[in-house]
Structure 1
């Protein structure tokens, strides 16, 4: 494997830049007035980042002429050009402005997508333990933000806790894949039946049109489009099922859809044309004719065949992967035959 290179090198600028842009906008709009004191600790707490990107944001604000170093500690907001300081005005603290904040994307969302794909891609090789503290350090975020990322990974069915209460992502072994698909073909047809009466009038027509257009594209269809088609049938359509307990149960095996998002990118040459397209078309056409029973049967057939294709994709990716080390992931065991 390659030597460890923290991914934060690419993501830290996003975190500091977001803090810089929000604060600059607040200063320009007057939400943060001249004379307001800004400190690293308060900025870090507000944006859920560590002090390093908070310091970087303040340095950028100073370079752009928004703030200057205070005579004590931290920074002081400067009057904008042409705007005189407000006389006899007590500047508000950063915490006092909480109710007037400009909306921004939570820190965990900024880094989640990259962490998800780094983790899921490696489960074709082994199981992996995830370390929250190391994750926070690698991405220059707080432990709270790291915890939010792991919570989302759990919600998506990607990680679980072992007997010692530690987080890990299970390897995509044949046994694990088989169990997840068996759950899917037991649960998704029931959700399909319950969703059908609640479908918006134009949904089936739109989904059919998307599949038909993709079939015409043939080998030219890209991984992102395949992933979108999977989401349309298995997430968007089934999402109209109003059985909350059933949908919660479905969320665990549908973690496979996250894996597919990665696998489609790495196995584009495995099949001449994507074989799930006519299977999706069959399900949607049966639904459009009002034959829910045969649509459920077609969905089961699609999921049963998909299990074998998933394993082919995983083996193909595993044979070529050599991922770099990441400080927040520990390899637990290689995939062994079940």
Structure 2
């Protein structure tokens, strides 16, 4: 029974408390209703505030607190089950904060950085790792299960599995000098974002796909809130959008869609390059130029990862120095193609003897180094125009191959 559920006893409704005989003659009405006396002769103008007595208030408060504790325990167990399921399936890109703290402490104890009989406290570990006490407390509890530490008779835990280095110094900041490590909490959505993005990008060469938030959460063992955050980030990067019914979908890389995105790019990116050029820090252009010439010198050997980085250097790093925020926001949507290219390059890196965009990028950088910003912008526009056809060739090669495995949160349209 919930904290506000009521039981019927005779003519009285109660909160698991007995009613007095006087209370049995009354009937509860909504607040502000007109109450009549038993003989129905003269009205009693009373306001029902929802509680009959101080015992009623205590009962409701106690029951509510108990059920809140039970609910928190159930939620904690479910989180543990989701974590276990995610790890078993190899999903997610990083462990939870307490798990990272646990791994660090295990390593430090096994390496002897925490000697036997050293004292570990929640406060000390939290301060040392730069985390709150909640993940520190859970990490210590999990560490106790491994047998490396045991509860102290006084406070905190003592190390029972470390190497002996003499009597430890006790203190609230920890007992010994260990390697300085600071952990920063990672948003829950980041743990699975990379996997979700890769799985969608790998499939949009074949078709458009409906994205189901509920199934996404269930597949990765996360909450609906986390799944919603992931989809929101995908929208920001131009990978998914909403249809007329406000449902999420990832549009296919059709010739029409790719053509529209590239048209936006060759209009907007040259403008952004002109605005970014005066703001480029000293040494950036020579460094990017060197990276590119090194790649050209071994053009037959480089793989998709290097090509992906060179694309990022020109189209993201350089343009990021444009201070027109509205323009950069407009560019972000068509640049979803850059994310798709990171997949295409890995699967079609041998489609051309050497990558055609390398000399095109070199022309842009050399004109910037010579101070010819307008010419560099024209070279960038030319590069993007010819890149459209190459992108479609890569997509067609991917689409003609084997079909991707089905995923529960993606429905083919």
In the superposition, the TM-score normalised over structure 1's length comes to 0.77
Residue equivalent to 1:79: 157
Gaps in structure 2 of 5+ consecutive residues: 1-85, 107-118, 126-133, 161-166, 171-181
Of structures 1 and 2, the one with the larger relative CO (CA 8 A, separation 6+) is: 1
Residue equivalent to 2:122: 31
Residue equivalent to 2:99: 20
Seen in structure 2, the aligned counterparts of structure 1 residues 29 and 149 have a Cα distance that, compared at 3 Å, is farther
Q: CA deviation at 1:108?
A: 1.5
Residue equivalent to 2:310: 229
In the TM superposition, what whole-angstrom CA distance separates every residue of 1:42-85 from its partner, at most 9, and x where no partner exists? x8xx8xxxxxxxx9x899545314799xxxxxxxx9723379xx
1:260 and 2:341 are equivalent in the alignment: yes
Residue equivalent to 2:301: 220
Match of 1:317 among 386, 398, 401: 398
Q: Contact conserved, 1:15 with 1:107, CA < 8 A, in 2?
A: no
**Distance (Å, rounded) in 2 between the aligned partners of 1:81 and 1:116:** 42
Seen in structure 2, the aligned counterparts of structure 1 residues 23 and 273 have a Cα distance that, compared at 3 Å, is same
What SS does structure 2 have at the residue aligned with 1:219? Answer: coil
**Distance (Å, rounded) in 2 between the aligned partners of 1:253 and 1:12:** 27
Seen in structure 2, the aligned counterparts of structure 1 residues 60 and 139 have a Cα distance that, compared at 3 Å, is farther
- The count of corresponding residues between Structure 1 and Structure 2 is 289
1:10 and 2:101 are equivalent in the alignment: no
Q: Contact conserved, 2:93 with 2:194, CA < 8 A, in 1?
A: no
Q: CA deviation at 1:106?
A: 2.2
Match of 1:63 among 124, 141, 145: 145
Residue equivalent to 2:329: 248
Stretches of 4+ moved more than 2 A in 1?
Answer: 12-16, 18-34, 57-63, 65-68, 77-83, 104-107
Q: Contact conserved, 1:130 with 1:167, CA < 8 A, in 2?
A: yes
Match of 1:166 among 221, 229, 247: 247
State how 1:114-153 maps to structure 2 within 5 Å: 114-153=195-234
**Distance (Å, rounded) in 2 between the aligned partners of 1:162 and 1:30:** 53
Structure in which a larger fraction of residues adopt helix: 1
**Distance (Å, rounded) in 1 between the aligned partners of 2:331 and 2:264:** 8
Q: CA deviation at 1:7?
A: 9.5
Seen in structure 2, the aligned counterparts of structure 1 residues 9 and 217 have a Cα distance that, compared at 3 Å, is same
Greater radius of gyration (CA): 2
C-alpha RMSD of matched pairs (Å): 3.2
What SS does structure 2 have at the residue aligned with 1:283? Answer: helix
State how 1:165-204 maps to structure 2 within 5 Å: 165-204=246-285
What SS does structure 1 have at the residue aligned with 2:299? Answer: helix
Q: Contact conserved, 1:66 with 1:78, CA < 8 A, in 2?
A: no
**Distance (Å, rounded) in 2 between the aligned partners of 1:327 and 1:307:** 32
**Distance (Å, rounded) in 1 between the aligned partners of 2:366 and 2:300:** 23
**Distance (Å, rounded) in 1 between the aligned partners of 2:184 and 2:286:** 36
Q: Contact conserved, 1:8 with 1:138, CA < 8 A, in 2?
A: no
**Distance (Å, rounded) in 2 between the aligned partners of 1:142 and 1:29:** 33
1:289 and 2:370 are equivalent in the alignment: yes
Q: Contact conserved, 2:122 with 2:156, CA < 8 A, in 1?
A: no
Residue equivalent to 1:103: 184
Seen in structure 2, the aligned counterparts of structure 1 residues 12 and 199 have a Cα distance that, compared at 3 Å, is closer
Q: CA deviation at 1:250?
A: 0.2
In the superposition, the TM-score normalised over structure 2's length comes to 0.63
Residue equivalent to 1:37: none
**Distance (Å, rounded) in 1 between the aligned partners of 2:411 and 2:343:** 20
Gaps in structure 1 of 5+ consecutive residues: 1-5, 35-42, 47-54, 69-76, 87-100, 333-338
What SS does structure 1 have at the residue aligned with 2:157? Answer: coil
Q: CA deviation at 1:209?
A: 0.8
Residue equivalent to 2:353: 272
